[in-house]
Amino acid sequence: MQTFYWKLQKSSDNQEINTRAARLIKQGEVVAFPTETVYGLGADGLNPTAVAKIFAAKGRPNDNPLILHIARQEDILPLTTGLNANARKLMEKFWPGPLTLIVEKAAVVPDAVSAGLPTVAVRFPSNKLAQDFIKACGCPIAAPSANISGRPSPTNAQDVLEDMQGKVAAVLDGGSCGIGLESTVVDTTSPVPTICRPGGVTYEMLTEALGAVEIDPALQGDKNFKPKAPGMKYRHYAPKEPVYLLEGEAVGLLPQLTARALAAGLKVGVLCGAELAQKIPAHDKLLLSSWGDSLERLAGDLFYLLRDFDRTRPDVILAAGVSEEGLGLAIMNRLRKAAGYQIVTLENGALHLKNDKHLPEFMIQ
């Protein structure tokens, strides 16, 4: 299939491009578009045949439901049988923005979107380019992140093309996404609202708005819990090479562990903040990705940096964990998944790998 590439202008309403894109959507085709979180792979959310094409393009398992994107608050009303007080509060406070609400589903929402669940996920993005595109389409836009299933989500149009060229009808290029991590997903139908996926709207912001908020216990990687968001059970964001995530006191050992891996002859990818990066001397087999000093910068760059490792192909990747406050919770969730829960900690002076796996050779003294 030929994939059209259309560049959007931030300063205009892009009417001509949006008319063409909307025509494709009405014909049941798939169009990738920018949002403030990551790029989405959009199709007419009320057309099961169009929705099926999203699953095919991504290679996405059918049991993983999609988010319906809208461009006006009131457009959620036909999609749900009712909104409770918590849902209304969250809409008022955080929409438009990087927050997805799980609500009871109305009959008009195809099972292909909700993967057979009685609920549906709805989001009103704040990105003006996304809003104009959705408005032009005149229907809710079902959209997952625009990556091949399992890869890091794309945060620029080139990364979308890398995964989707030839598989979708068009890609709308709106430049880089600001936040860089997918939206926070909150189930508003449970007695206590529950974070199914952490994101740009943080736990702290949600508790301030609602009082009690739970975090899905499955997010800690404990195999005894089944995640509330089906998508959270899949291996995700993982570069092709093994990733080890250092947490707690082990983070300070990053320069040493990097040196040992290099001494063992490995090509080493390192992902850490500026302060640690300064302690790691240059080496021709070292690929150092430093994310500066703010969590916002790390969130914004994380998926790009993980994708970059798929291009530079180190033998092993060492990543430094961050504190789980604020945006840190979402970042650590993505890093843990990228690492396949290969988490390295320091206990009583000795390195440990979580989940009872064996430490790699170079970490054993």
Contacts to ligand TXA by CB under 6 A: 35, 37-38, 40, 64-67, 100, 102, 114, 117, 119-121, 123, 143-145, 182-183, 185, 196-197, 228-232
How many positions of this chain bind Mg ion (CB under 5 A)?
Answer: 1
Q: How far is the CB of 143 from Mg ion (least distance, A)?
A: 10
Q: Which does 123 bind (CB under 5 to 8 A by kind): ligand TXA, Mg ion, none?
A: ligand TXA
Q: Which of residues 150-189 bind Mg ion (CB under 5 A)?
A: none
Largest CA distance in the chain: 64
Residue 209 beta carbon to ligand TXA: minimum distance, rounded to whole angstroms: 19
Name the nearest CA neighbour of 150 among 243, 241, 62, 236.
Answer: 236
Residue 176, judged by CB atoms within 10 A of its CB (0-12, 13-18, 19+), counts as middle
Between 66 and 251, whose beta carbon lies closer to Mg ion?
66
Nearer to Mg ion, 79 or 146 (CB): 146
Instruction: Please select the residue that binds Mg ion; options are 127, 145, 156, 290, rule is CB under 5 A.
Output: 145
149 touching Mg ion, by CB under 5 A: no
38 binds, among ligand TXA, Mg ion, none (CB under 5 to 8 A by kind): ligand TXA
> Out of ligand TXA, Mg ion, none, which partner does residue 155 contact, by CB within 5 to 8 A per kind?
none
CB of residue 101 to Mg ion, shortest distance in Å: 17
Residue 162 makes CB contacts below 8 A (sequence gap 6+) with: 154, 307
Q: Closest by alpha carbon to 307, among 148, 136, 88, 168?
A: 148
To the nearest whole angstrom, how small is the minimum distance from the Cβ of residue 149 to Mg ion? Answer: 8
State the Cα–Cα distance between residues 112 and 102, nearest whole angstrom.
Answer: 16
Minimum distance, C-beta of residue 182 to Mg ion, in the bound complex (Å): 6
User: Residue 196 in contact with residue 184, Cβ under 8 Å?
Assistant: no
The residue number with the shortest CB distance to Mg ion is 145
Tokens of 148: 């091949």
In the complex with ligand TXA, the residue whose CB is nearer, 290 or 333, is 333
Whole-number minimum distance, CB 299 to ligand TXA, in Å?
Answer: 12
Closest CA to 111 of 44, 57, 66: 66
Which residues are registered as beta bridge partners of 99?
184
**Cβ closer to ligand TXA: 215 or 259?**
215
Question: C-alpha angle 110/80/142, rounded to 5°?
Answer: 45
**What are the CA-CA distances from residue 64 to residues 113, 174, 227, 265 (Å)?**
9, 27, 11, 41
Give me the least distance between CB of 274 and ligand TXA, in Å please. 27
**CB under 8 Å to 225, separation ≥6 — which residues?**
216, 217, 218
Q: Which one of ligand TXA, Mg ion, none is in contact with 99 (Cβ closer than 5 to 8 A by kind)? A: none
Binding partner of residue 228 among Mg ion, ligand TXA, none, CB cut-off 5 to 8 Å per kind: ligand TXA
Nearer to Mg ion, 136 or 146 (CB): 146
Q: Which stretch binds Mg ion (CB under 5 A): 53-61, 77-85, 142-150, 253-261?
A: 142-150
Q: What angle do CA 221, 103, 226 make, to 5 degrees?
A: 20
Residue count of the chain: 365
Chain positions contacting Mg ion, by CB under 5 A: 145
